[in-house]
Amino acid sequence: MEQRYNFFCDQRCLTLISGNGNAKPESYNNYTRCKSEDEFFSILKSWLNKLITKDIYICFEGNIADIENLIKQKYIEVKAAGGLVINAENEALFIYRSGFWDLPKGHVEQDESFEETALREVEEETGLTSMKLVKELTVTKHFYYNKGRWEVKMTKWFLMITNESNELSPQLSEGIEKAEWISASQLDQVLLNSFRSVRESIGFSEVFNVKH
């Protein structure tokens, strides 16, 4: 079975796939194979520095779990968690910040679990106070440049439900302009103006109509 990891940066995606013979080059655009860890990290560096400006698929002829572990060693890993909250009206909770729709999320604090972080961030960023955590949805990985170095944010996303109907209160101090409930019919339009890591990694169609 083909293994794959997706890494995002500036709305671009680097997909790392296992070189077990199942991956067919004709199935992908901008596809390359690499046989060594050094070769992979050379390609990754070029991609991060925008010498490669498009999506890229890398077939690694080795254990890609080793690559993931080396990424953690070579780059600062920032742990974060966030929530996709569905209310009783079958609407999803989104925030609007810096020109993009997003889901509430934030950094994991010391001695805090991912689940605790996700619940806390939803409350802080939207004012919602009564949520029930249902399950973990997915993990996204996103490279960004911060204070002279590349960091990779590893975010765990959780599905939550709520019956709360109080008015939402966006966290203005964090630059959040709006917190809104988005219906299934509005979702496609909202996702057009969202971060690709969220848009492509979270299976929104699978979580609407979740039982409360």
Asked whether residue 212 is assigned to any structural domain, the reply reads no
Residue 21: domain span = 4-74
Pair (88, 191) in one structural domain: yes
Q: How confident is the model at residue 109 (pLDDT cuts 50, 70, 90)?
A: very high
The predicted structure's pLDDT at residue 102? 97
Asked whether residue 103 is assigned to any structural domain, the reply reads yes
pTM more than 0.85: yes
Q: Which helix (H) or strand (E) holds 178?
A: strand 176-182
Pair (12, 82) in one structural domain: no
Q: Is 105 exposed, middle or buried (0-12, 13-18, 19+ CB in 10 A)?
A: buried
Pair (122, 53) in one structural domain: no
Q: Which of 18, 52, 74 is the last residue of a domain?
A: 74
In the chain, the number of structural domains is 2
Q: Which of 54, 74, 94 is the last residue of a domain?
A: 74
Pair (49, 82) in one structural domain: no
The predicted structure's pLDDT at residue 20? 62
Give one DSSP letter per residue of 16-56, joined into a string.
Answer: EEE-SS---GGGSSSEEEE-SHHHHHHHHHHHHTTSS-S-E
